[in-house]
Chains A and B, each alone.
Chain A
Amino acid sequence: MDRRTADDARLGGLMRAAQAGDGDAYLALLGEITPRVRQVVWRRRGARAPEAIEDLVQDVLLSVHVARASYDPGRPFFPWLLAIVRNRLADGARRYARHALHEVQVDDLDVTFAELATNSPAEPLGDVSALRNAVQGAAAQTASRDRAAQATGIVAEGSRGRHGDERRRAQGGHAPGGGRPSPHVGAW
């Protein structure tokens, strides 16, 4: 009898005792098969993190526990064990693939705040006169559009939305839902 066959017979005997409810035999059996299972899992799923490997090993041990009634003491032990290991590995790979399919890798996810910083009061205002001219121009354009709208009775869609926002901005307000809030307004 070679070493492998002797091992198989010994583990088969331990499983037979475990089927009869012998806790010590079961402890010895699980202790003996765990490094072997770990080796098989490592060989087949070596690219995974050590925690994932250990998860698979534990999954196999739990499966062995659930399936222990299906072991036929008259048959070799290792083919029985390896069939369970293969099944759990395949199942683990399917679960992993399902997870990976619905997972989006994000390097740094903002939890509360957008990463973009708010305006700082220390920022230079830039060319004030150019800004004033632009605001006056926009205001004049809006006023003439309003006059035309009153004359025709038609209100352009944009005048309630984007152009309305422009007008409010020109008057020093903030567009609802648009633009970044000033640090001076609604501080919280």
Chain B
Amino acid sequence: MDTERLIRTLAENVEPVRPLSRPWLRAIVWTAAGAVYLFVLVWVMSLRDDLGARLHDPRFLIEQAAALLTGVTAAVAAFATVVPGHRRRVVWLPLAFAAVWVAVVALGALRDLRLVATGTVVVQADWRCVWAILAGAAVPAGAMAMMLRRGVPLTPHMTAALGGLAAAGLGNLGVCLFDSHNSNLVVLMWHCGTVFVVAAFAGILGAHLLRWPPRTQSLSPI
């Protein structure tokens, strides 16, 4: 088919489409839907006993705020990357909040390291948290994938990694509301570790998760 004919065919068959909303607006919608799911999850699991006390701990609040902002900004960045030509600077935003989050947890972990040395605190594997984070991230991740596929994932690895970071960050926040830990070392290894492993894993699978153009929408003239 020659190009002129292709252009005519495309123009004759053009159908109205709904333009994608702004990335930050889509991120708000996604976060709100994820929050509803997490609310149900936390309600089923019941809130942790010491939550009231922890809410007066500035370090805990900063940690959770940084985790939440990591998730939300990662969602904004993920939605921005599926808009061709969008500014890439937005990608650095979740990384900045993630750095704050890890730094706060790492400082607490350094303090706890001394307690581990004296035997006051025992650090052990916490697979329960891993599964809880994965359960908390599963539904938001599915919703994220569906929303990302509506866009144009030209950089699927980066987009999927950001989407994974957003979903796992939100899942982690939910887990922190019903699961308590006696050491920041556990949080650093099993919470932060899980979130970043999920993001990395999603990034690796990005090209398969976010194929563009999708197979069902192959590039054939009408």
Total count of chain B residues near the partner, CB < 8 A: 31
Contact (Cβ within 8 A) A58 B3 = yes
CA distance A23 to B14 in the complex (A): 6
Most buried by B among A22, A34, A59, A65: A65
Contact (Cβ within 8 A) B3 A83 = no
**Is the CB of A11 closer than 8 A to any CB of chain B?**
no
Contact (Cβ within 8 A) A27 B85 = no
| Contacts A58-B1, A69-B17, A69-B18; A87 near B154 (Cβ below 8 A) | yes
CA distance A141 to B219 in the complex (A): 72
By beta carbon, the residue of chain B nearest A74 is B22
**Is the CB of B198 closer than 8 A to any CB of chain A?**
no
CA distance A83 to B3 in the complex (A): 21
Contact (Cβ within 8 A) B154 A84 = yes
CA distance A79 to B86 in the complex (A): 8
Contact (Cβ within 8 A) B3 A54 = yes
CA distance A26 to B8 in the complex (A): 9
By beta carbon, the residue of chain A nearest B219 is A62
Interfacial residues of chain A within 63-90, with CB under 8 A of chain B in the complex: 63, 65-76, 78-84, 87
Contact (Cβ within 8 A) B3 A61 = yes
B interface majority secondary structure: loop
Q: What total of A-B pairs shows CB separation below 8 Å?
A: 94
Contact (Cβ within 8 A) A23 B11 = yes
Contact with B along A20-43 (1 / 0, CB 8 A): 111110110011001000000000
Contact (Cβ within 8 A) A19 B3 = no
Give B198 Cβ to nearest chain A Cβ, in Å.
26
Give B80 Cβ to nearest chain A Cβ, in Å.
10
By beta carbon, the residue of chain B nearest A24 is B11
Contact (Cβ within 8 A) B20 A72 = yes
Give A114 Cβ to nearest chain B Cβ, in Å.
40
By beta carbon, the residue of chain A nearest B23 is A72
| Contacts A31-B7, A62-B219; A69 near B150 (Cβ below 8 A) | yes
**Is the CB of B12 closer than 8 A to any CB of chain A?**
yes
| Contacts A58-B1, A62-B219; A70 near B82 (Cβ below 8 A) | yes
| Contacts A62-B219, A75-B85, A84-B84; A70 near B20 (Cβ below 8 A) | yes
Given contacts A27-B7, A69-B18, A70-B151, 9 further A-B contacts (CB under 8 A): A19-B18, A21-B16, A27-B11, A30-B11, A71-B19, A74-B22, A80-B83, A82-B85, A87-B84
Pairs across A and B, CB under 8 Å, 26 listed = A19-B19, A21-B15, A23-B11, A23-B12, A23-B14, A26-B11, A26-B14, A27-B11, A54-B2, A54-B3, A57-B3, A58-B1, A58-B3, A59-B219, A61-B10, A66-B213, A66-B217, A67-B84, A67-B152, A70-B19, A70-B82, A70-B151, A70-B152, A72-B20, A83-B84, A84-B84
Q: Which A residues lie at the B interface, using CB under 8 A?
A: 18-24, 26-27, 30-31, 34, 54, 57-59, 61-63, 65-76, 78-84, 87
